[in-house]
Amino acid sequence: MKIAIVGAGAIGGYVGAKLSLAGEDVTFIVRGANLEAIRRNGMKLILEDGSEHIADQVKATDNYRLAGRQDLVILALKAHQLESIADQLHHLLGPETAIVTMQNGIPYWYFYKHGGALEGSHLKMVDPTGEISEKIPASRVIGCVVYPASELIAPGVVRHFEGERFPLGELDGSSSERVTRISACFVNAGFKAPVLDDIRSEIWLKLWGNLSFNPISALTHSTLVDICQFPLSRELAAALMTEAQTIAHKLGISFRVPLDKRIAGAEKIGKHKTSMLKDVEAGRALEIDALVGSVIELARLTHTPTPHLDTVYALVKLLAKTFEEERGQVQLQRVA
């Protein structure tokens, strides 16, 4: 399959390297030092067992037009980075090209083919200007939940920590020919890629952890096990998750795992820093609006009170604002 991966970071690098090693025709859409490194050496993948694999057949470019039409486009950017690529994406799209979205959080396409009173509603938190929905048509999208954890440790070098599951699903729940084909392609590359008839419920299950543990960890610099074992933060995580569950239930979502078990699962991961804490430490922009702001937007749409989510959202937004101002100061000092 001809596959473009937009964003060759932790997840894009991991997925693209494995697909290429399995014989797929992979092009990374990538920029900066990462582009140079992949062009020079391919994408190096370091697996959990320490083994190293070089995907040296991958192509890498920052030119969408040159990459050309694809069978499949995988969007592996952070949610707040989608707008920056939306304008260029059409170069990759032929009449049948499918798009797999690999962002954590509530996706911009959430209400497409959702049914009910909220069908077609637009979510400002993840698509502030409407440009993403306009230029990345939801009719092409296959939903996906990313369970693996990985990190781009240097340009062109990705380390995989754990997990291989990428559940997929059509937005209308059907088992179409295209989703079946993409699932088979993922399985052939060594991933688990079950086709689900309710991808939104799986998105909420993953998000349950992200909307609670990620902001708490970013605010307190604590790992998952620390948050889960300290009674007050465990209680706060449970309160955030309970509010989210009320919203989700109103939207027809069912959780296949009870709340206590979901917290126990996070606790078992141990001394692990969430991606939002890693972003804080690295001075990168935080995925707050996709993970928390969008849930609050859904709360407003479903008339659900969310005092805990509102409080945590306010605090983590302030944290991000302070960081942005500090970064601005540092840049100004460098210019001076």
The binding site for ligand KPL (CB under 6 A) comprises 104, 209-210, 213-214, 272, 274-275
Q: Is 44 a catalytic residue?
A: no
Q: Find the Cα–Cα–Cα–Cα dihedral 75, 183, 142, 45, rounded to 10°.
A: -10
Look up tokens 């209680």; give the residue: 235
Least distance CB 11 / ligand KPL (angstroms): 11
Task: Name the pairing type of β-strands 43-46 and 149-154.
Answer: unpaired
Region from 9-17, 169-177, 233-241, 312-320 binding ligand NDP, contact rule CB under 6 A: 9-17
Least distance CB 323 / ligand NDP (angstroms): 16
User: Is 152 one of the binding residues for ligand NDP (CB under 6 A)?
Assistant: yes
Cα dihedral sign for 326, 330, 332, 336? Answer: positive
Q: Which of 4, 5, 9, 46 binds ligand NDP (CB under 6 A)?
A: 9
- Residue burial 276-307, b: 16+ Cβ < 10 Å; e: rest: bbbbbeeeeebbbbbbbbbbbbbbebeebebe
Least distance CB 206 / ligand KPL (angstroms): 7
Least distance CB 218 / ligand KPL (angstroms): 10
Task: Name the pairing type of β-strands 2-6 and 70-75.
Answer: parallel
CA distance 136 to 143: 13
Q: Do 286 and 103 meet the contact criterion of CB atoms below 8 Å apart?
A: no
Residue 70 binds which entry of ligand KPL, ligand NDP, none, with Cβ cut-offs from 5 to 8 Å by kind? none
User: Is 251 one of the binding residues for ligand NDP (CB under 6 A)?
Assistant: no
Choose the catalytic residue: 59, 113, 192, 206.
206
Pick the closer one to ligand KPL by CB: 214 or 222: 214
Tell me how long the chain is: 336
Residues that bind ligand NDP (CB under 6 A): 7-12, 29-32, 34, 76-79, 81, 84-85, 102-104, 146, 149-150, 152, 275, 287
